[in-house]
Amino acid sequence: MNRNLSKLAVPMGVVGIILLLVVPIPAGLLDVLIIVNILLALVILLTTMFVKKPLDFSVFPSLLLVATLFRLGLNVASTRLVLGDGYAGQVIEAFGHVAVGGSIIIGAVVFLILVVIQFVVVTKGAERVAEVGARFTLDAMPGKQMAIDADLNAGLITDVQARERRAAVSAEADFYGAMDGASKFVKGDAIAGIIIIIINIVGGIAIGMLQRGMPLGESVSTYTLLTIGDGLVTQIPALLMAVSTGMVVTRSNADSEMGSDASDQLTQSRQALMIAGGAAILLALIPGMPKIPFILVGAFLIFMAQRLKASEAAKAKDDDAAAAEAGPAAPASETTEDLIEQMRVHALEIQLAPDLVDLVSGASDDLLARVRALRRKIAMELGIVVPPVRTRDSIDLPMSTYAIRIAGVETGRGEAPAGKVLALGDNLDSLPGIATVEPVFGLAGKWVPAEMRHSAEMTGATVIDRVSVLVTHLSSLISANAARLLTREDVRVLTEGVKSVNPSAVDELTPSLLSLAEVQRVLQGLLAEQIPINDLPRIYEALALKAKSSTDPEGLIEAARQALGPALTAQYLDGQLLRVIMIDPTLEQSMLEGMRPSELGTQILLSADRTEAVLASLRDALEKVEANGLTAVLVCAPALRPAIRRLVSAQAGGLPVLSYQEVTSANVKIETVGVVRVGQTAAA
């Protein structure tokens, strides 16, 4: 019942406001509505002071419009009573006689002061802040969306969190856009108040003299006081609403309400309070100055400074006591077990320079939490369980530097300066900072101060925090070295997991046909080409069939690939279209004739000149495809695929190599965008 009533409250209120514009109301009801108007404005003002971020009061723009319409309705109703009856209730009469002492001049001056404060100072400033805030928010929206997409792609957030962040960005843009328009209501309300006052004074004097036969002085006194009282009771809540507008648009996101923030930040400097208190006492010594107020205020400020000093001393004493209670650090143990643990080579390790230890401090952007999310993402994508990542500091690293080690060998290194964020874009010359190159994609960027994040987004740059840079780098290295990270124990655990849901696939394969070591070698071969192994039952079934005729690792890998054919092709599709680069049939036939087995797998015997010509033709074809903003795969005969992949892997920037069977196993449309020929460049 209460929920349904709350839904109907605003629509019924708006209908009532419309009735105020056309239906006369008694003076007693007008008094009640004026009081409600004043208290509503006061509640809104106090609410803006206690919200932690503007979006917590997202209904404010609509509420501002309704409150403005309500005041205008009260203006019409009070004008009707003032001009018709010469009386508009006790509230207006009290403001006209008591609040301004019954003086027309005092009332007019007070009213004009309120109008100037509202229109020139508060409303004008709030309007400008709302306009700038809306423009900045809309300009920064693409950069924020790109940052969310980058975090999602890096596995730092889930799909649900990404949707929530996108919704928050959209809501923020909508809110500031609405506030930009709502500020115009406040400005229009101030102008309307002035016009209504002038109309009421002129109309009241005319009615008093012409219809009621009142002398000029009495007519001016009666209607001017009533009109000024009417103006004051509407301008005061209008001023409160204008201040509320300014509060909302100037409020930044914070962890506490405005009162707590103001108290904490104003008392953060004991020296500032001491100097202000001393200055107040010195001002009291100037001849003619009121000494008691200055001395009281100065003494209060000095007292607060001394309280802060005592508080800081007590905090320092508690910290010393805690350190003493903890005692000296225990000497490092030198037992055999500890030495073995220190000698152990960790599969994954992140080393941090001493000034980067704050990355694992447990804050909202804690590195350890982001690494846990990354391990889950890679498990879902590649089908391997990433080993725990050891994180430690290293005094051997330069300042602001981190190093990523795999199996004890440094695989990557980057920078993450404290207090800075990485801006990626083309228009960074105007920003102060340290030029750098993003370690994963090789993009030009600049480390800019964190407080200039908004300015960087205004230039169209994508801004990434330090933890995201490090985790994205770690994700790239893990994916590139997934084969090295897959241990024999990992294969055993994965095989037991398959056996629990598909026991026949495991029982037929191992240990009767293949050992765990041979299965590990096949899975490592798949991971080396960035092929997910999460569909292990299908892989094991294909290996069981192939192993009955041959246990050659290369043949086993190709058999597993054939079973995963549709999944392999799907990751390179553009809709239902697969763009491919072919090998000229004559060249392909000569390659088949030149194939020879070796310890590392099949090799293609070609002369050095012929090999270079093949690679040059492939590079030309690939450059033409990339120049059009497209992606393609190289396709060849199944027997050639392993040898071709080894031939081009280091020359074509990781170009995927698929066999004809893998491509045709998926229901896709194939478009040839290049042909590799010897002695002739690729033709699209």
| pLDDT tens-digit readout, 394-409 | 888 999 899 999 988 8
CA 298 to chain centre: 45
Q: Which long-range contacts (CB under 8 A, 24 or more apart) does 278-287 make?
A: 278/302
Residue 362 has pLDDT above 60, yes or no: no
Percent of the chain with pLDDT over 70: 78
Residue 366 has pLDDT above 80, yes or no: no
Least confident range from 332-346, 418-432, 455-469, 494-508: namely 332-346
Please report, for residues 106, 117, 159, 225, 498, the alpha-carbon distance to residue 101 in angstroms, rounded to integers and kept in the order given. Answer: 8, 21, 65, 10, 90
Residues 662 and 619 in one domain: yes
Between CA 575 and CA 625 the distance in angstroms is 17
Please report, for residues 276, 543, 557, 673, the alpha-carbon distance to residue 640 in angstroms, rounded to integers and kept in the order given. Answer: 84, 20, 13, 20
Q: Is 176 part of any domain?
A: yes
Q: Which of 513, 532, 563 is the last residue of a domain?
A: 563
Instruction: Specify burial of residue 348 (Cβ count, 10 A radius: 0-12, 13-18, 19+).
Output: buried
Residue 94 has pLDDT above 60, yes or no: yes
Tell me the pLDDT band of 4, cut-offs 50, 70 and 90: low
Q: Is 326 part of any domain?
A: no
- Greater confidence, 446 or 295? 446
pLDDT in tens, 593-645: 888 888 778 888 888 888 889 989 998 998 899 888 888 999 999 889 999 98
End-to-end distance of the chain based on CA atoms, in angstroms? 70
Tell me the pLDDT band of 316, cut-offs 50, 70 and 90: low
Residues 60 and 194 in one domain: yes
Q: Is 338 part of any domain?
A: no
Q: Is 188 part of any domain?
A: yes
Residues 36 and 118 in one domain: yes
Residues 111 and 250 in one domain: yes
Instruction: Yes or no: say if 527 and 519 are a contact pair by the CB < 8 Å rule.
Output: no
Query: Would you state the pLDDT for residue 34?
Result: 81
Q: Is 476 part of any domain?
A: yes
pLDDT in tens, 294-311: 788 778 878 887 877 777
Over residues 101-112, mean pLDDT: 68
Between CA 490 and CA 379 the distance in angstroms is 12
Q: Is 68 part of any domain?
A: yes
Query: Would you state the pLDDT for residue 141?
Result: 66
Closest CA to 78 of 41, 38, 24, 3: 24
Angle at 629 between CA 626 and CA 631, to 5 degrees: 60
Residues 68 and 158 in one domain: yes
Between CA 318 and CA 620 the distance in angstroms is 71
Residue 357 has pLDDT above 60, yes or no: yes
- Residue 533: give the domain boundaries: 486-563
- Greater confidence, 86 or 461? 461
Query: Would you state the pLDDT for residue 505?
Result: 87
Between CA 353 and CA 362 the distance in angstroms is 17
Residues 183 and 244 in one domain: yes
Residues 610 and 655 in one domain: yes
Residues 244 and 355 in one domain: no
**Mean pLDDT of the chain, nearest integer:** 79
Tell me the pLDDT band of 678, cut-offs 50, 70 and 90: confident
Least confident range from 105-119, 158-172, 391-405: namely 105-119
Over residues 426-451, mean pLDDT: 85
Place of tokens 């009291």: 284
CA 209 to chain centre: 66
Q: Is 34 part of any domain?
A: yes
Between CA 263 and CA 255 the distance in angstroms is 14
Over residues 16-40, mean pLDDT: 80
Q: Is 371 part of any domain?
A: yes
Percent of the chain with pLDDT over 90: 12
- Greater confidence, 312 or 278? 278
Query: Would you state the pLDDT for residue 328?
Result: 46
Residues 45 and 190 in one domain: yes
CATH code of the domain containing 373: 3.40.30.60
Q: What single DSSP character describes residue 446?
A: E
Q: Which of 218, 242, 259 is the last residue of a domain?
A: 259
Quickly count: other Cβ atoms within 10 Å of residue 311's Cβ. Answer: 12
Query: Would you state the pLDDT for residue 170?
Result: 76
Residues 214 and 305 in one domain: no
pLDDT in tens, 564-606: 888 888 888 888 899 999 999 999 999 998 888 887 788 888 8
CATH code of the domain containing 592: 3.40.50.12790
Residues 16 and 154 in one domain: yes
Three-class SS state of 230: helix
- Greater confidence, 49 or 355? 355
Residues 89 and 196 in one domain: yes
Query: Would you state the pLDDT for residue 539?
Result: 92
Tell me the pLDDT band of 76, cut-offs 50, 70 and 90: confident
Between CA 386 and CA 101 the distance in angstroms is 80
Q: Which of 541, 563, 585 is the last residue of a domain?
A: 563
Between CA 434 and CA 417 the distance in angstroms is 9
Domain count for the chain: 5
Across the strands, what pairs with 405? 349, 410
CATH code of the domain containing 493: 1.10.8.540
Residue 148 has pLDDT above 60, yes or no: yes
Between CA 386 and CA 376 the distance in angstroms is 8
